[in-house]
Amino acid sequence: MASSSVSFVVVLILVLCGGAACYDNSGGGGMEEEELFGLFEVMGSLLEDPTWAQMHPLPCTDTPWPGVECGLMEETDVFHVTKIHVGDDVVSPPCKASAKISDSLLKLPYLRTLSLINCFTDSEVSLNKRLFQSLASLEHLTLESNPALIGEIPSTISNLSSLKTLCLSQNNLSGGIPKEIGNLVNLQQLVLSRNNLTGAIPGEIGGMEKLAILDLSLNSLDNTLPSSIGGLESLEKIDLSWNRLRGAPPPWLGNLTRLSLLDLSHNSFTGPIHESLSGMQQLQYLIMESNPLNSKFPSFASSLTRLAVLSLSSCGLHGPIPSVFSNLTNLTALSLDDNHLDGAVPAEIGSLRNLDTLNLSRNHLSGRLMFPPDFMNRIGQRLDIRENDGLCADLAVRMSNTSSRLLQNPSCDDAVIFAAPSNRTMAADHRNSGSSVNLKPDLYGGGDDSSSDHGDFGSRIVIFVQLVLLFLLLQAS
């Protein structure tokens, strides 16, 4: 270890003091020695390649490296390092096992972008408080997919006053989100997803007036949402899924008129959702699945006319599905499965010309499914209405592409068959003439919900089969 760093320094001295190599005057601008030295140390602390400095003695001009970018300062005719990116796209594997972030970063005061992806995988590294104190020119900081990046986000992150993008996703960071983060008034993207962050989302986040993307998903954040988020009117995407957030989704979310994605799924939010959320007029994705809303279907959804995906699966919704879909012409996916919804399925859902995924399974819906054939053909296997108490489908509908799922629901024709014995023969003939193979699951395995209808017919067959088996057994012995 010690000897290798000694030889590294020797190499540096050779490179730096090899005369003309230090300042490439003929090449139209060189680098300041301190900065070049700093870059060598930063790269040396990350990369496996011990000859990096030798191979790239003039990284801004004659011997560039794909992950390093420089900018020429006109007044002084001197190059400065503006970007360091290390990831699988540049070098594989990106970093050495003992990689760490060198303090020499502080010798790169013109650095605007630092991006280290899949770099710290073996030996643990944490974010150094001092490091952030003097990188005032940094605009984009991305430390992503580093399982060995541990510890807390230091409060001195707020010293990065030029920061526009802060992406620390898929690391192993823990502790709370420091409230000082709110001082990053130029921040446009805050992505801290897939860490072990805990505690509440600090209200100070409301200071980031330019914030467009807020992604804190897949952490262990708890408590309610700070109302200050309602003042962040530049927000376009909010993803807070897979945390432990609670309380009602706040009414002021309706102030976010530019929001196109709101993902609050897999939290502990409770209902009802306030009608003022209809203010989110640009909303295309409303994803709320797996929250104990325990309320009625939020009918304000009817005014979110740009909606493409609406997911309210496993939200404890009860009552009927209201007829609110006629204006949602851009809806492509509707998931209402695993709730307590009852009543009929609004026929207007079948007229949504862009809908291609519809999951209504595991509810208490009833009545006759009335969707036109072209709708059924388009949606195919992406229609799921299984496990509903009394929902039946017409034979024509059941014969369509969706049939394997629909066959687990009772046929509306069956309801007639068993109610009026005089019709049975005809209907049975009809079955045999059709694709009897497809219809079999309905007769035998018709699902728990429909078994009462079919009970005596099915049990007669079972008894018959048992008798045949008994007969065969007796024959054999």
Ligand X SMILES: *[C@@H]1O[C@H](CO)[C@@H](O)[C@H](O)[C@H]1NC(C)=O
Of 227, 278, 351, 438, the residue at the interface with ligand X (CB under 6 A) is 227
44 counts as binding ligand X under rule CB under 6 A:
no
* Residues contacting 372, CB < 8 A, separation 6+: 350, 351
C-beta of 63 vs 299, nearer to ligand X: 299
Out of 234, 278, 281, 303, name the contact with ligand X by CB under 6 A.
303
| Residue 312 DSSP label | -
**Is 420 a binder of ligand X (CB under 6 A)?**
yes
- Contact between residue 198 and residue 173 where contact means Cβ atoms under 8 Å apart: no
Q: Minimum distance from CB of 196 to ligand X (Å)?
A: 4
Q: Would you count residue 409 as binding ligand X (CB under 6 A)?
A: no
CA 45 to chain centre: 33
- Residues 380, 403: contact at Cβ < 8 Å? no
Beta bridge partners of 221: 199
What distance in Å separates the CA atoms of residue 241 and residue 72, rounded to the nearest whole number?
43
Site for ligand X contains 401 (CB under 6 A): yes
Q: Let me know if 287 is exposed, middle or buried by CB neighbors in 10 A (0-12, 13-18, 19+).
A: buried
Q: How many residues does the chain have?
A: 477
39: DSSP letter:
H
**Closest of 192, 248, 247 to residue 220, by C-alpha:** 192
Q: Tell me the closest approach of the beta carbon of residue 197 to ligand X, in angstroms.
A: 10
Asked if residue 337 binds ligand X (CB under 6 A), the reply is yes
Helices of type H across 17-144: 33-46, 52-55
Complex with ligand X: residue 29 or 447, whichever CB lies closer: 447
Q: Is residue 377 at the binding interface for ligand X, with CB under 6 A as the rule?
A: yes
> 71-90: which residues touch ligand X (CB under 6 A)?
none
Cα–Cα distance for residue pair 305/302, rounded to 1 Å? 7
146 belongs to the binding site for ligand X (CB under 6 A): no
Tell which one of 145, 361, 402, 450 touches ligand X (CB under 6 A): 361
Size of the site for ligand X (CB under 6 A): 40
**By CB under 6 A, is residue 347 in contact with ligand X?**
no
Q: Is the dihedral of CA 94, 96, 98, 104 positive or negative?
A: negative
Among 82, 118, 156, 450, interactor with ligand X by CB under 6 A: 156
Q: Residue 3 contacts by C-beta under 8 Å, 6 or more apart in sequence?
A: none
> What are residue 474's phi and psi, to 5 degrees?
-60, -40
Nearer to ligand X, 12 or 184 (CB): 184
Among 231, 292, 320, 441, binds ligand X (CB under 6 A): 231
Q: Is 382 a binder of ligand X (CB under 6 A)?
A: yes
Lookup: tokens for 228: 């200050």
Residue 160, Cβ density class (10 Å: 0-12 exposed, 13-18 middle, ≥19 buried): buried
Name the residue nearer to ligand X (CB basis): 83 or 107. 107
Residue 159 engages ligand X in binding (rule: CB under 6 A): yes
Cβ 394 to ligand X, closest distance in Å?
13
* Nearest to ligand X of 338, 414 (CB atom): 338
| 428 sits near ligand X (criterion: CB under 6 A) | no
Tell me if 369 sits within 8 A of 396, measured CB to CB. Answer: no
Sign of CA dihedral 191, 193, 197, 202: positive
Of positions 22, 106, 150, 344, contacts ligand X by CB under 6 A: 150
Nearer to ligand X, 62 or 348 (CB): 348
Six token digits for residue 258: 């530019």
Report the residue number, 65 or 297, with the smaller CB distance to ligand X: 297
Q: Which stretch binds ligand X (CB under 6 A): 30-38, 301-309, 460-468, 469-477?
A: 301-309
Contact set with ligand X (CB under 6 A): 133, 147, 150, 155-156, 158-159, 172, 174, 180, 196, 227, 230-231, 252, 255, 302-303, 305-306, 313, 324, 326-327, 330, 337-338, 359, 361-362, 377, 380, 382, 384, 400-401, 416, 420, 423, 426
